[in-house]
């Protein structure tokens, strides 16, 4: 029973929180650019409209693959908030991400295919940092189990500053923010048009957006794991940190231009090695 309640809460609240965060992000971005920006609830309006549109697609199988993507991503979140093994969560997450790649590649549309291979490339770039974050959490707390991780005396982040930096760094890739908005972009007037989402229309795009919200809530939840400990106050602190990270992402998004693939690879792997790798070394030698 104790496991079902968090899952239900996640299922109901995650899209709402994810959508709101998206709305806040748009609002703040607009203000940074000197615009008023859309209303806070605009993401929900968008999805609602998409759901009511005529169903169109380039390839029928695409809808199926996007559904698979959606289900696996939500499933990952459920596993995570039910307090299961964190490494397991990320493995399922990457399975889900391959479904997205398939969904874009199956259309054989040029921009969509380009987005797909870029998405795949991104996965390769961020995966080491993600896995290392799990390893780091294990070293700090002695368990891979999320439920047990959050019942320690002190926050894991105290032992894992490097892992935390690396994780936040790749969060930019994972949340598709500039300078690493590499597989899809906010504006279609660019070299990759809309990347992976180029050929997604109506319902499919709506499902994609909702999945993104679920995914973001999961990813930010992992940020929370770094902070939370047995003290109830730490939850409040975790929320503050998560909001700060979100703001940081928005800020980076608005101040950086997209980089080339090799810059992304080199910088990310360098940060992963230097921050997480060194931290790993310190932890392991200190054991």
Partner 1 sequence: MVPFLICFPLFVALLMYVIKVNKIRNIIAYISAAVVMVAVLIMSVLWVMDGCNAILLYYETEIVDKVILSVELLLMVIVVYLCFKYKKYIISLLTIIPTLLIAYVEIWGPKRDMINHIRIDYLSILMCIIIGIIGGLIIIYAVGYMHGYHHHHIEIEDRRNYFFMLLFIFLGAMFGFVLSSSLLWIDLFWETTSICSFLLIGYTRTDEAIQNSFRALWMNLLGGTALALGIVYQIYEMNNDSLQYLVGMGSWGFSSAVIPVALIAFAALTKSAQMPFSKWLLGAMVAPTPSSALLHSATMVKAGIYILFRLAPAMTNTVTGNMISFIGGFTFFVASLIAIAQSDGKKVLAFSTISNLGLMVACAGVGESETLWAGIFLMIFHAVSKSLLFQDIGATENAMHSRDIEDMHGLLYRLPRLGAFMFIGIAGMFLAPFGMLISKWSALKACVDDNNIVMVLLIVFGSATTMFYWTKWMAKLISATNEPKIKDITKKNELISLSIHAILMILLCISFPILSKVYVVPLLKEMYGSYVTVLSMSMLYTLVIIICFIFAIPSITFGYTRKLHENKKLAYMSGINEGDNSSFTDAFGEAKKLQMSNWYFKDFIGQRKLMIPSEIFATVLLIVMLSIILGGALL
Q: Give me the residues that bind partner 1 (CB under 8 A), please.
A: 54-61, 63-64, 67-68, 71-72, 75, 85, 87-88, 91-92, 94-95, 98, 101-102, 105-113, 116-117, 120-121, 123-125, 127-128, 131-132, 135, 138-139, 144, 193, 198-199, 201, 262, 269, 273, 277, 280-281, 284-285, 287
Looking at the Cβ atoms of 242 and 283, the one nearer to partner 1 is 283
Looking at the Cβ atoms of 72 and 229, the one nearer to partner 1 is 72
Are residues 140 and 159 in contact, defined by beta-carbon separation less than 8 angstroms?
yes
Name the residue among 248, 122, 118, 214 with its Cα closest to residue 174.
122
Which strand (E) or helix (H) includes residue 150? none
Least CB distance to partner 1 at residue 235 (A): 27
Least CB distance to partner 1 at residue 25 (A): 26
Phi and psi at 37, nearest 5°, equal: 90, 165
Q: How many Cβ atoms from other residues are within 10 Å of residue 240's Cβ? A: 11
Evaluate the omega torsion of the peptide bond into residue 186 and state whether it is cis, within 30 degrees of 0: no
Tokens linked to 254: 């608005």
Least CB distance to partner 1 at residue 195 (A): 11
Looking at the Cβ atoms of 113 and 250, the one nearer to partner 1 is 113
Are residues 229 and 140 in contact, defined by beta-carbon separation less than 8 angstroms?
no
Give the long-range contacts of residues 22-27, CB within 8 A, separation 24 or more.
Answer: 22/212, 22/213, 22/216, 24/246, 25/246, 25/249, 25/250, 25/253
Looking at the Cβ atoms of 36 and 285, the one nearer to partner 1 is 285
Least CB distance to partner 1 at residue 199 (A): 6
Least CB distance to partner 1 at residue 143 (A): 11
Looking at the Cβ atoms of 24 and 131, the one nearer to partner 1 is 131
Looking at the Cβ atoms of 140 and 168, the one nearer to partner 1 is 140
Least CB distance to partner 1 at residue 205 (A): 13
Distance in angstroms (rounded) separating the CA atoms of residues 50 and 44: 10
Q: In 3-state terms, what secondary structure has residue 109? A: coil
């Amino acid at each position: 029973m104790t496991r079902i309640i968090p899952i239900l809460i996640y299922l109901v609240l995650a899209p709402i929180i994810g959508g709101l965060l998206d709305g806040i992000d748009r609002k703040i971005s607009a203000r940074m650019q000197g615009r008023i920006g859309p209303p806070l609830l605009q993401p929900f309006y968008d999805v609602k409209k998409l759901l009511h549109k005529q169903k169109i697609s380039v390839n029928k199988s695409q809808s199926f693959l996007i559904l698979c993507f959606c289900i696996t991503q939500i499933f990952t979140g459920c596993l995570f908030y039910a307090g299961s093994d964190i490494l397991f969560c990320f493995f399922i997450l990457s399975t889900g991400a391959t479904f997205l790649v398939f969904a874009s590649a199956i259309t054989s549309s040029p921009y969509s295919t380009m987005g797909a291979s870029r998405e795949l490339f991104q996965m390769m770039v961020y995966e080491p940092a993600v896995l290392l974050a799990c390893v780091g959490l294990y070293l700090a707390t002695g368990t891979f189990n999320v439920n047990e991780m959050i019942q320690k005396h002190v926050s894991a982040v105290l032992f894992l500053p490097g892992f935390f930096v690396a994780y936040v760094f790749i969060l930019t890739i994972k949340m598709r923010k500039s300078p690493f908005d590499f597989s899809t972009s906010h504006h279609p007037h660019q070299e990759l048009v809309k990347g992976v989402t180029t050929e997604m229309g109506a319902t499919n795009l709506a499902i994609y957006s909702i999945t993104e919200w679920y995914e973001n809530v999961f990813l930010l939840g992992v940020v929370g794991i770094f902070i939370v400990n047995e003290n109830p106050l730490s939850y409040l602190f975790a929320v503050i940190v998560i909001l700060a990270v979100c703001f940081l992402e928005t800020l980076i998004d608005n101040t950086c231009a997209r980089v080339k693939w090799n810059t992304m690879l080199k910088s990310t792997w360098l940060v992963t090695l230097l921050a997480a790798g060194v931290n790993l070394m310190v932890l392991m030698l200190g054991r």
